[in-house]
Amino acid sequence: MAAVAPDPPTPPDPPPARGAAPTGAVPHDDPAHRLGLALVCAAAEPALSGVLLLDLDPRLVDPVARVFGAVLAGADEPARPPLVLGAADRDEDLWTRTRIRGGEHGITVRTGPGPLTEGDDADGAPPLVVVPDLARLSVAGMRAAVQLLGADVVTVERGGPRRTVRPRARWLAVCRSADVGRVSRHLLDRFALRLSVAGLRLPAPGGALQEPGAAEAREALLAGLADTRRPASGRGIGPVSVDDAAIGRARDLLGPDAGVRRELALLRLARTLAALDGAPSASAGHTDDAARLIGVSVPQSAPERAESDPEPPGTGPEPAGPPGTLPERHGSGGGGRPRTRDGARALRDTGPAEGIGTAPGAAPSPAAGSPYPEDEPAAVRDAVPLSSPRRRTTGPVSTRGTVIGTRRATDLRDIAHVRTVREAAVHQRARRTERFTVSPVDLHSNVRAAAPERVLVLLLDHTCRAGDGNWPEVLAPFLQWAYTSRATVQVIEVGAADAADELRAGSFTARGVLDPRVPAALHRRAGRATPLAHGVELAAQALRRLLRRQGTGPAEAWLVVVTDGRGNVPLRAGHTGRTDGEVAAAGVEDAVEAASRIGAMDRTRLHVAVVDPGREPYGDLPYVLADRLGAIVVDGRRGPGTEAAGG
Amino acid sequence: MNRALPGPRILPYSRVVAQDELKLALELHHVVPRIGGVLMAGPRGTAKSTLVRAFALMAHDALPVTLPINATDDRVVGGWDLDALLRGEPRPQPGLLEDAADKGLLYVDEVNLLDDHLVDIILDVAATGVLSVQREGLDTAKYLSFGLVGTMNPEEGGLRPQLLDRFGLMVTAETLDATARHLLLRTVLDFEEELGREDSAWLAAARRDDARTRERLTAARRRVGDVGVPEHILELCARAAERSEAVGQRGEIVAVLAARALAALEGADRVAPGHLRRVLPMALRHRRPEAVQGDAFDWGPDDEARLQDLFED
């Protein structure tokens, strides 16, 4: 974990005159302007605490983080050093902070809450957490983000400190659009403010882009904003209502399949823009502004914001109303008849929806890039990335896994401070010393859950089964190896008759071969479609994840592919769940292409075997696949021990 | 070191839009704690966590005892107060399981992401009813009983069957239609706006509604001991569990308890078939073979059709 040193406070320069409009329209084709406004909104509104920048030039991560820190601090305070999270962070780095101090009476140890859990009862600017590459964030970091981002409450229960707070840290994460598939959608969904900033150029104060002073960079970036918007970040915003047209507009813009979190995020952004403009309520025009800001396409026929609509400030909703009813809210505020959720009255017409794409999220603005790249049909997705690896009982001691206990230390690595102090406390009376004393015999170190040491990945193509097949017999050597080495088993299935989606491969992770799902997978009936390419791709993802996770990848992994190679579903159909056009040989070609990515993996730990059922015609396809995979070929008709060819 | 929360900003329970099944499960568990817990599954952004916290605030005026997924085992089973130890005072610090036994509820957000070693601890205590701590100079054994309430997003993986079975009831979050979604957005935005106002009439009205719900639940708790369970209801429940191929017998026991709680909530003197039918999906959906060995929790028309004739008379 590294911290960026803060810049010394710099008196703010007067903003350069750039002819900014006082309110309203966002120049959505200027990434710098959008970024500046987004950072101001995130600073002003705690509900917009997570900012995800897509396709930000890696060289600009630090300058942008400095600017965000300066925006959070405001003009009168120095920016706080951000907390930078990466691939190596562990739970104990994130949630607690142990401080060892030398003093007049010897060394003292104190374990307290970490910076992530600073609550809104603290003074000063909120802390800033920076994730330079979200796709490479450690599992512990991702889990922390899921717990903290946008949370009403977070609870810390770790050795020593207990804490329940409303988190107030702001997060600035960066991710390439091409990598979002490697990030859990569950986590992506937590970032309220997401915008693509490809091609961003920061306006440099005096041309000094490389090492700008934070305050100067902030002023340069915010220079294009309206005067009312620029200083508001530090002091928060007052209550602003959101009218019904704004809500309906959000749904129109994001599409019917967008999650509630996306709609809420867009409306909160619209509300913040309205507050920064000094408007008493957020209207459909503010929703349009918010959509343009994050890069969602707004149809040309969108109604213009009624700037002249008078609305008395401070108008609140009607207090009364039974559960399930709410007063209708118009732009001018005030009450109205209650609307029941039983559909007694239809929602008001929310305007035309032309220009909206079919993706679950929304149509991206051509100028800005989509804030929801994971909605693209071709987006690759990792499975279960937030789960810790299953604990196994064999293998060497892990140094980076989850702490599952402590034991007497044999060296000074990974000392468990809390446990050590407890042990020392037990002996204080016997030692008869004046001060609290820790002796070498008190030292304890952490015991950590080992990552799986052995992994078996089974790719089963059910459509290549002839009759009942003899898969258990053919696969016996691999299953026995998995059993004796306590290997985790990842099963990927294609072509099962009862598959949830016959155009896609299915997958599950078992703790071992004794999991009842594993033998069940060896006896499924064959279906019609063979999405082999999708299955090979899932296998590649699983192996990639296992080999890199938490720095403790498996010592040995086997990929066993049982197939005749005759895939008849192209990879794109596996992604989209639908076929379009003729398939021809695309299913086979895509599978071979996907296999080549596995062939390029770490072969010191990964072994691959293809079980050839010997079906004709096209009997050479398993050999082609094995060649790309770098696999040995096992004759599936004659059973184990009959290796047919070397790969 | 446990710092009090300065006024949690959780949407009031009475203002949580839709999700009637989730609300009913929590209320049934509150009326009859022996149900043993509630598991809520649903996609992201369906107010599962908000609902649990709002319910606890409504029913107990406090947030639930929460087990975070990254808790350390000493905080779960209990240990020593570290600051007191450094001062030379051996002061035991109760763990979350003891706190949960006091309050009757242990809440685990993202329960499917809970680390294995914590799951093992919870299962041991839940199965035996005894928390035995033999470590770090502690030598204690206490009888504990608490209900588990968990929320999970199935996209991130499933639960071990043993842990799944410990949840008496399981409910899935519903997908909202356009009207309900609009109402939800309206409610959340109004709530956030009202938080910024002093003496909000909106919040006062919500608190009054919460108080009425609490009184209704308290009355049901008092009444539930007098609600009779006819013999034919037990037979019906056993046959329904058999038709659903429910694994183990905990499902039918929980179903009867939940039906009794529902009857008490509705002011009935005895459990009727309608009460049982309403709660059967909650009690059995996660005990069917396809749920135990997979992540198929949906209770669909096929499941209903299997039970149809049992309830036709």
Question: What is the number of structural domains in chain A?
Answer: 4
Interchain CB contact of B64 with A (< 8 Å): no
Tell me: do A226 and A255 sit in the same domain: no
Provide the shortest C-alpha distance from residue B303 to chain A (in Å): 17
Q: Is the pTM of this model over 0.80?
A: no
Select from A89, A90, A111, A153 the residue whose CB has the most chain B CBs within 10 Å, as the one to mutate to test that interface.
Answer: A153
Tell me: do A469 and A605 sit in the same domain: yes
A266-280, A548-562, B122-136, B232-246: the lowest-pLDDT one: A548-562
Which pLDDT belongs to residue A228?
Answer: 63
- Determine which helix (DSSP H) or strand (DSSP E) holds A594, and give its type and residue range: helix A586-599
Rounded to whole angstroms, the Cα distance separating A410 from A467 reads: 58
For residue B143, list its beta bridge partners: B130
Q: Which CA distances in Å does B188 have to A47, A506, B10?
A: 12, 37, 10
Paired sense of beta strands A281-282 and A241-242, if any: parallel
In chain A, residues with a C-beta closer than 8 Å to the C-beta of B204 are 319
Instruction: Kindly determine whether residue A162 and residue B1, on different chains, have CB atoms separated by under 8 Å.
Output: yes
In chain A, residues with a C-beta closer than 8 Å to the C-beta of B156 are 184, 186, 384, 386-387
Instruction: Kindly determine whether residue B156 and residue A91, on different chains, have CB atoms separated by under 8 Å.
Output: no
Please tell me whether residue A494 adopts helix, strand or coil conformation: strand
Tell me: do A407 and A487 sit in the same domain: no
Interchain CB contact of B45 with A (< 8 Å): yes
Please tell me whether residue A441 adopts helix, strand or coil conformation: helix
Interchain CB contact of B138 with A (< 8 Å): no
Give the closest residue to A171 by CA, choosing from A316, A68, A243. Answer: A68
Q: Which two tokens stand for residue A212?
A: 């700008």
Provide the shortest C-alpha distance from residue A214 to chain B (in Å): 31
Burial class (CB in 10 A: 0-12, 13-18, 19+), B13: buried
- Determine which helix (DSSP H) or strand (DSSP E) holds A508, and give its type and residue range: strand A506-510
A634 pLDDT band (50/70/90 cuts)?
confident
Q: What sections of A114-184 are H helices per DSSP?
A: 139-148
Tell me: do A368 and A460 sit in the same domain: no
Provide the shortest C-alpha distance from residue B232 to chain A (in Å): 36
In chain A, residues with a C-beta closer than 8 Å to the C-beta of B6 are 120-121
- Match domain B13-172 to its CATH number in 3.40.50.2300, 3.40.50.300, 3.40.50.720, 3.30.230.10: 3.40.50.300
Section A481-503 average pLDDT: 87
Rounded to whole angstroms, the Cα distance separating B90 from B213 reads: 43
B-chain residue closest to A418, CA distance: B82
Tell me: do A475 and A441 sit in the same domain: no
| Residues contacting residue B301 through CB under 8 Å, at least 6 positions apart | none
Give the closest residue to A280 by CA, choosing from A332, A228, A345, A210. Answer: A332
Confirm whether A22 is domain-assigned.
no
Tell me: do A203 and A90 sit in the same domain: yes
Select from A260, A311, A337, A381 the residue whose CB has the most chain B CBs within 10 Å, as the one to mutate to test that interface.
Answer: A260
Q: Which two tokens stand for residue A550?
A: 């938490």
Neighbours of A87 (CB within 10 A): 15
Q: Which two tokens stand for residue B84?
A: 């007191």
Give the closest residue to A229 by CA, choosing from A51, A24, A64. Answer: A24
Give the closest residue to B242 by CA, choosing from B307, B308, B286. Answer: B307
Size of interface A-B (CB pairs under 8 A): 233
Q: Give residue for tokens 């192996």.
A: A543
Angle between helices B20-31 and B250-265 (to 10 degrees): 90
Rounded to whole angstroms, the Cα distance separating A255 from A568 reads: 33
Provide the shortest C-alpha distance from residue B75 to chain A (in Å): 6
Q: In B, residues 146-185, which contact A (CB 8 Å cutoff)?
A: 153, 155-157, 176, 178-185
Q: In B, residues 16-35, which contact A (CB 8 Å cutoff)?
A: 17-18
Residues of B designated catalytic? 250
Cβ atoms A561, A490 nearer than 8 A: no
Domain(s) of CATH 3.40.50.300: residues in chain B: 13-172
- Determine which helix (DSSP H) or strand (DSSP E) holds B307, and give its type and residue range: helix B301-308
Section A549-573 average pLDDT: 77
Reported ipTM: the value is 0.86
Cβ atoms A85, A137 nearer than 8 A: yes
pLDDT beyond 60 at A418: yes
Give the closest residue to A234 by CA, choosing from A70, A480, A97. Answer: A70
Q: Which of A236, A260, A288 is the last residue of a domain?
A: A236
Tell me: do A126 and A215 sit in the same domain: yes
Tell me: do A215 and A281 sit in the same domain: no
Higher per-residue confidence, A69 vs A14: A69
Please report, as a single letter, which amino acid is at residue A342: D
Q: Which two tokens stand for residue A479?
A: 């299953």
Cβ atoms B79, B92 nearer than 8 A: yes
Residues in chain B: 313
CA R_g for chain B: 21
Sites in chain B below the pLDDT cut of 70: 1-7, 292-296, 313
Q: Which CA distances in Å does B86 have to A323, A436, B89?
A: 52, 7, 7
Q: Which two tokens stand for residue A274?
A: 């309205």
Interchain CB contact of B48 with A (< 8 Å): no
Instruction: Kindly determine whether residue A326 and residue B183, on different chains, have CB atoms separated by under 8 Å.
Output: yes
Summarize pLDDT for A197-217 with one digit per residue, the tens.
988 887 765 444 444 466 666
Cβ atoms A43, A186 nearer than 8 A: no
Higher per-residue confidence, A389 vs A150: A150
Residues in chain A: 647
In chain B, residues with a C-beta closer than 8 Å to the C-beta of A329 are 186, 190
Instruction: Kindly determine whether residue A164 and residue B63, on different chains, have CB atoms separated by under 8 Å.
Output: yes
Out of A240, A259, A508, the one facing B193 most closely (by C-beta) is A240
Rounded to whole angstroms, the Cα distance separating A491 from A468 reads: 19
Which pLDDT belongs to residue B293?
Answer: 57
Rounded to whole angstroms, the Cα distance separating A150 from A133 reads: 20
Cβ atoms A196, A55 nearer than 8 A: yes
Instruction: Kindly determine whether residue B190 and residue A317, on different chains, have CB atoms separated by under 8 Å.
Output: yes
What torsion do the CA atoms of A413, A418, A420, A421 make, to the nearest 10 degrees?
140
Instruction: Kindly determine whether residue A121 and residue B6, on different chains, have CB atoms separated by under 8 Å.
Output: yes
Spell A577-586 as b/e; 16+ CB within 10 A means b: eeeeeeeeeb
Cβ atoms A306, A300 nearer than 8 A: no
Which pLDDT belongs to residue A155?
Answer: 85
A-chain residue closest to B189, CA distance: A242
Domain(s) of CATH 1.10.8.80: residues in chain B: 226-311
Tell me: do A360 and A484 sit in the same domain: no
A-chain residue closest to B296, CA distance: A500
Q: Which of A448, A474, A509 is the last residue of a domain?
A: A448
Q: Which CA distances in Å does A417 have to A109, A409, A438, B77?
A: 8, 11, 11, 19
In chain A, residues with a C-beta closer than 8 Å to the C-beta of B205 are 319-321
B-chain residue closest to A262, CA distance: B45
A365 pLDDT band (50/70/90 cuts)?
low
Summarize pLDDT for A216-250 with one digit per residue, the tens.
666 666 666 666 665 545 556 777 899 999 999 99
Which pLDDT belongs to residue B207?
Answer: 94
Q: Give residue for tokens 């400190």.
A: A161
DSSP percent split of chain B into helix, strand, coil, nearest 5: 55, 10, 30
Share the mean pLDDT of chain A: 74
Rounded to whole angstroms, the Cα distance separating A83 from B172 reads: 37
Instruction: Kindly determine whether residue A251 and residue B181, on different chains, have CB atoms separated by under 8 Å.
Output: yes
In chain A, residues with a C-beta closer than 8 Å to the C-beta of B67 are 157
Rounded to whole angstroms, the Cα distance separating A244 from A259 reads: 18
Q: How many CA atoms lie within 13 A of B92 on its CB side?
A: 13
CATH number at residue A43: 3.40.50.300
Provide the shortest C-alpha distance from residue A515 to chain B (in Å): 9
Section A324-338 average pLDDT: 43
Provide the shortest C-alpha distance from residue A575 to chain B (in Å): 16
Provide the shortest C-alpha distance from residue B279 to chain A (in Å): 23
Which pLDDT belongs to residue B5?
Answer: 41
Summarize pLDDT for B226-248 with one digit per residue, the tens.
999 999 999 999 999 998 888 88
pLDDT beyond 60 at A16: no
Section A542-567 average pLDDT: 75
Tell me: do A278 and A410 sit in the same domain: no
Please tell me whether residue A543 adopts helix, strand or coil conformation: helix
Q: Which of A236, A269, A300 is the last residue of a domain?
A: A236
Q: Which domain holds residue A107?
A: 30-236
For residue A156, list its beta bridge partners: A163
Provide the shortest C-alpha distance from residue B101 to chain A (in Å): 17
Provide the shortest C-alpha distance from residue B241 to chain A (in Å): 22
Question: Which range is most confident: A40-49, A198-207, A551-560?
Answer: A40-49
Instruction: Kindly determine whether residue B2 and residue A166, on different chains, have CB atoms separated by under 8 Å.
Output: no
Question: Which range is most confident: A65-69, A208-212, A484-488, B88-92?
Answer: A65-69
Cβ atoms A306, A75 nearer than 8 A: no
Give the closest residue to A370 by CA, choosing from A250, A194, A199, A201. Answer: A194
A-chain residue closest to B156, CA distance: A384
A384 pLDDT band (50/70/90 cuts)?
very low
Q: Which two tokens stand for residue A519?
A: 């033998």
Out of A91, A152, A343, the one facing B70 most closely (by C-beta) is A91
Higher per-residue confidence, A512 vs B295: A512
Cβ atoms A349, A34 nearer than 8 A: no
Confirm whether A335 is domain-assigned.
no
Out of B71, B180, B185, the one facing A263 most closely (by C-beta) is B185
pLDDT beyond 60 at A362: no
Instruction: Kindly determine whether residue B192 and residue A47, on different chains, have CB atoms separated by under 8 Å.
Output: yes
pLDDT beyond 70 at A495: yes
pLDDT beyond 80 at A26: no
Q: In B, residues 193-222, which contact A (CB 8 Å cutoff)?
A: 193-197, 200-202, 204-205, 209
Tell me: do A132 and A216 sit in the same domain: yes
In chain B, residues with a C-beta closer than 8 Å to the C-beta of A421 are 82, 85-86
Which pLDDT belongs to residue B301?
Answer: 84
In chain B, residues with a C-beta closer than 8 Å to the C-beta of A341 are 17-18, 179-180, 183
Out of B3, B136, B156, the one facing A165 most closely (by C-beta) is B3
Backbone angles phi, psi at B309, to 5 degrees: -70, -25
Domain B226-311 has CATH 1.10.8.80: yes
A-chain residue closest to B51, CA distance: A152
pLDDT beyond 70 at A301: no
Which pLDDT belongs to residue A86?
Answer: 87
Tell me: do A81 and A216 sit in the same domain: yes
Which pLDDT belongs to residue B230?
Answer: 95
Out of A259, A321, A418, the one facing B82 most closely (by C-beta) is A418
**Measured distance between the N- and C-terminal CA atoms of chain A, rounded to whole angstroms:** 43
Spell A449-479 as b/e; 16+ CB within 10 A means b: bbbbbbbbbbbbbbbbbeeebbbeebbebbb
pLDDT beyond 90 at A393: no
Instruction: Kindly determine whether residue A316 and residue B194, on different chains, have CB atoms separated by under 8 Å.
Output: yes
